[in-house]
Amino acid sequence: MAKKKKGASSKISATSSVNVPENPTRENVSILAETLGNIDLHYEAAPPSPTEMAESVIFSPRSPVHALLCPVEDEKSIDCSTSKPFIPACYKWNGVPTNGSQTRLMKLLAGKKREIMTANKRILTTRELISASEAAISNLENTIERAYHVTITMQICLRSLETVCDNIKSLDTGSTSIDSTKESNSFKTCHTVISYIGLPSQLDELKSLPDQTTQLLERIENLERMTLQMKKEPLDWRMELEFHQYDLKQLEIHHKSLGEVINGIKSILSAMRRIPTEIWVKVFDYWVRERDLEAAHHSLPSPLLLGQVCSSWRQIVLGTPALWVRFDIYKPTLWPQSVLDNLERAKQAAASNDLHYTFFGHFNPAWGHQVQQFHNPYAHAFSTPGHFPGFSTPTNGRIGTPTKEVFAPVPSSILTGFLSTHLHVGISFDFHIYTPPVNAIKTLTLTGASTGWGSNLKRFLESCSSVEELILENIWLTGSNSLSMPNLKRLCFRIDRFEPFDISVFLHSQIRDLDIRHNGSDTVELGSSAAPCLTHLRHLAITPHEYPLLTHIMTPNLKSITLYPANQRTAVVISSPGLQSVNEDLNSTLVGSFITSLLPKLQKVGEIKFIEWTIQSTIDCVYVLEKILSVSSLLQHVRFEQCHLNGPALICLIAKANSGKIDTEELLATTVPKLDDTNSFSLSATCRLKSLAELTLSSCTGLTRGQCDVLASTVGKLNIYV
């Protein structure tokens, strides 16, 4: 019989006759099936020999490679996600391995990955052997059971054949006795039939019965002998099965240990641990600044929330005072003791004068309703001097369940000395509920809901007499002709949904920094009063829509200008060529008016910054820069931050501005590609551009590496930040 391939499935069909071997083995299952009759058996092939098993496990060694450069298919075969990482007890969680240690750990990781791949293959092979053994045992048991039933059936058939033979002999005896009778009349018919048919034992159909009986008896004996032999086979298979199962258990233990080592090395070498502390401080700082509204109101301030992640983060948080600059303050006069304790920790981590306090006037913290329970006639019944046991609402919704939270009055020392405060006023806000003193505030930020405020806002601002920096986010002052803020030095507007409002009440001569940015197409307005002269203004940040403001204010000592883009076009809908031409005319009018009002302010400006002039901007920032360079000024430094730049156009502009130092024609002919019609950029042939000493590109797009190299040769100093 041909040997079956490993893992192949075979189907055996019965035939009419077969020669049964004297000593059947498991290789003779097909012969046995033919003996059993019309029975289909499906069985798994025998397990491979030890040599074949070794050949399936051992593979050619690979050259050592870096662990991070392993092929993708190898990485997929390594499944150790369920294994806990093994971390040596001597490892310091707040430390980073040295470069030499990292190299050795990478080599160890690569070796363990190869070992676990080998273990995976051995586990798969052993599982296949276990499946083959279980299938063989099941097939043998089914075959033995069927052979037993077939043997019984054959024995019944044998007894039936023996009975038939005995009956035939009886018929022969009766026929002989009839034939010997000499009576002439009564048995003449019987004699005629017997002479015609003959004796029953002499019939051709019945002559083979003795031989069939003998053959059936031999088959029964052979089948019983084969069944007895097969009963020994399951014991051997079960013995092999136990070996395979024990081997699989040991392999899985080894695989688990390898997975723990691999996960431990990965944990130590993970990017989370290798990131410098300065990067984490930057990430944490962004997260702390983005906390707002309901998401901010936890029992712990955000730095401590970060410190709960791991000991390494906790060390960074506690060792970085800059992360503790913000703390939320609340309307209730009683605060949870945990909040007060955290405030004390924040004041210890960061100097008290550096804390920025945030007040949500329209929002009541989660524990605010608990404080209200204390302000009732029966509060003294369950209160102690200075401290109040709190009641909270558990997750199941039942109210009145006592907790360990303790409330205490806010010390007066905490409510004084606020130098930086951020108030969220929303749509409606009563400034009287803000109880902390305001006479010491230096930086005040007000966040509204894109609405104007009247006398309430004016009185509150005037009460903040020490404010030097005022930031108004989606809120502005209306209906007022004057505002007294004698110490105001910096004024900043950040408005999403813009409505024109009078800004003249804020424009005092002592202002040094004016910053206006909005997303609308309108502009701030100046009242009927005379144009203010901002003699101390050093920095001005505006959008192109503020050209009327530029036209009327006087800034004799302006040193720096920041230009925000006009992202919203003046024509909202463009549905036909006619409307599109109208839109282009309006945009060109805006550009012309803005540049006309900007150029007279540049005499003493030494630095200009373009921020977020993307490809959707209405005006090309390079075009604006060309107009700026055409004016005689002290400009030395231009900065582009998060802008999309036309590389060839910028090169042409800088090359022409510094034409006295370089060969412009040769540079443009050899390094600058030709511009197509859609992106054409033309420089004025008549005006002479001012040379530029320094150019800074920070997170800008639209420039290639080669174009940056060209810019470096055309400008005195090029700074690029990616």
pLDDT class for 688, splitting at 50, 70, 90?
low
How many Å apart are CA 449 and CA 475, to the nearest integer?
7
105, with CB counted inside 10 A (0-12, 13-18, 19+), is middle
Residue 479: pLDDT over 50 = yes
Q: Specify if 519 maps to a domain.
A: no
Q: Specify if 302 maps to a domain.
A: yes
Tell me which amino acid residue 559 is.
K
Share of the chain above pLDDT 90, in %: 14
Residues 279 and 264 in one domain: no
pLDDT at residue 695, rounded to an integer? 93
pLDDT at residue 108, rounded to an integer? 92
pLDDT in tens, 517-543: 887 767 777 776 666 788 999 999 998
Give the domain-ending residue among 219, 252, 269.
Answer: 269
**How many CB atoms are located within 10 Å of the residue 182 CB?**
6
Say which residue, 21 or 336, is predicted with more confidence. 336
| 3-state SS assignment for residue 257 | helix
List the structure tokens of 395. 């997750």
Residues 217 and 231 in one domain: yes
Q: Specify if 601 maps to a domain.
A: no
Three-state SS across 574-631? Answer: CCCHHHHHHHHHHHHHHHHHHHHHHHHHCCCCCEEEEECCCCCCCCCHHHHHHHHHCC
How many Å apart are CA 658 and CA 696, to the nearest integer?
16
State mean pLDDT over 316-327.
Answer: 79
Residue-wise over 640-662: b if at least 16 C-beta within 10 A, else e? bbebbbbbbbbbbbbbbbbbeee
Residues 286 and 191 in one domain: no
pLDDT at residue 10, rounded to an integer? 35
pLDDT in tens, 126-172: 999 999 999 999 998 888 888 888 888 888 888 887 787 777 667 66
pLDDT at residue 350, rounded to an integer? 63
- Of 296, 363, 302, whose CA–CA distance to 331 is shortest? 363
- 57-61, 274-278, 426-430: segment of lowest average pLDDT: 57-61
| Most confident of the following: 379-383, 403-407, 568-572, 581-585 | 403-407
How many Å apart are CA 224 and CA 188, to the nearest integer?
52
DSSP 14: -
List the structure tokens of 329. 């303050």
Residue 181: pLDDT over 60 = no
Q: Specify if 588 maps to a domain.
A: no
Three-state SS across 27-84? Answer: HHHHHHHHHHCCCCEEEECCCCCHHHHHHHHCCCCCCCCCHHHCCHHHHHHCCCCCCC
Residue 189: pLDDT over 70 = no
Residues 295 and 222 in one domain: no
pLDDT class for 514, splitting at 50, 70, 90?
very high
Beta-bridged to residue 387, according to DSSP, are 384
Residues 157 and 214 in one domain: yes
State mean pLDDT over 91-118.
Answer: 84
How many Å apart are CA 551 and CA 589, to the nearest integer?
15
pLDDT at residue 361, rounded to an integer? 65
- Of 714, 703, 564, whose CA–CA distance to 624 is shortest? 564
pLDDT class for 351, splitting at 50, 70, 90?
low
Say which residue, 43 or 620, is predicted with more confidence. 620
Residues 119 and 228 in one domain: yes
pLDDT at residue 420, rounded to an integer? 83
Give the domain-ending residue among 269, 288, 309.
Answer: 269
Q: Is the pTM of this model over 0.75?
A: no
- Of 420, 486, 430, whose CA–CA distance to 460 is shortest? 430
Residue 553: pLDDT over 50 = yes
Residues 263 and 291 in one domain: no
Residue 466 near residue 442 (C-beta atoms within 8 A): yes
Residues 256 and 292 in one domain: no
Residues 210 and 290 in one domain: no
Residue 664 near residue 655 (C-beta atoms within 8 A): yes
pLDDT class for 199, splitting at 50, 70, 90?
low
CATH of the domain at 17: 1.10.287
Q: Specify if 639 maps to a domain.
A: yes
Residue 122: pLDDT over 90 = yes
pLDDT at residue 284, rounded to an integer? 87
Share of the chain above pLDDT 70, in %: 63
Residue 185: pLDDT over 50 = yes
Residue 513: pLDDT over 80 = yes
- 272-286, 400-414, 664-678: segment of lowest average pLDDT: 664-678
Residues 244 and 288 in one domain: no
pLDDT at residue 58, rounded to an integer? 31
* Mean pLDDT, rounded, of the chain: 72
Residue 154: CA count within 13 A, CB half-sphere: 22
Residue 292 near residue 117 (C-beta atoms within 8 A): no
Residue 448: pLDDT over 50 = yes
Q: How many residues does the chain have?
A: 722
Residue 680: pLDDT over 50 = no
Q: What Cα–Cα distance (Å) separates residue 413 from each residue in 301, 347, 664?
A: 19, 12, 67
The domain in which residue 83 lies consists of 9-269
pLDDT at residue 129, rounded to an integer? 94
pLDDT class for 422, splitting at 50, 70, 90?
confident
Residues 257 and 279 in one domain: no
Q: Specify if 329 maps to a domain.
A: yes
Q: Specify if 675 maps to a domain.
A: yes
Residues 333 and 198 in one domain: no
pLDDT at residue 696, rounded to an integer? 94
- Of 49, 23, 26, whose CA–CA distance to 137 is shortest? 26
| 3-state SS assignment for residue 468 | coil
State mean pLDDT over 34-56.
Answer: 38
Residue 446 near residue 472 (C-beta atoms within 8 A): yes
Q: Specify if 498 maps to a domain.
A: no
List the structure tokens of 625. 């820069």
pLDDT in tens, 611-644: 999 876 667 888 889 888 888 888 999 999 999 9
Q: How many domains does the chain have?
A: 3
Listed in sequence order, the residues at least 6 apart from 223 whose beta carbon sits closer than 8 Å to its beta carbon are 35, 147, 150, 151, 154
Give the domain-ending residue among 236, 269, 302.
Answer: 269
pLDDT in tens, 245-263: 999 999 999 999 999 899 8
State mean pLDDT over 435-447.
Answer: 83
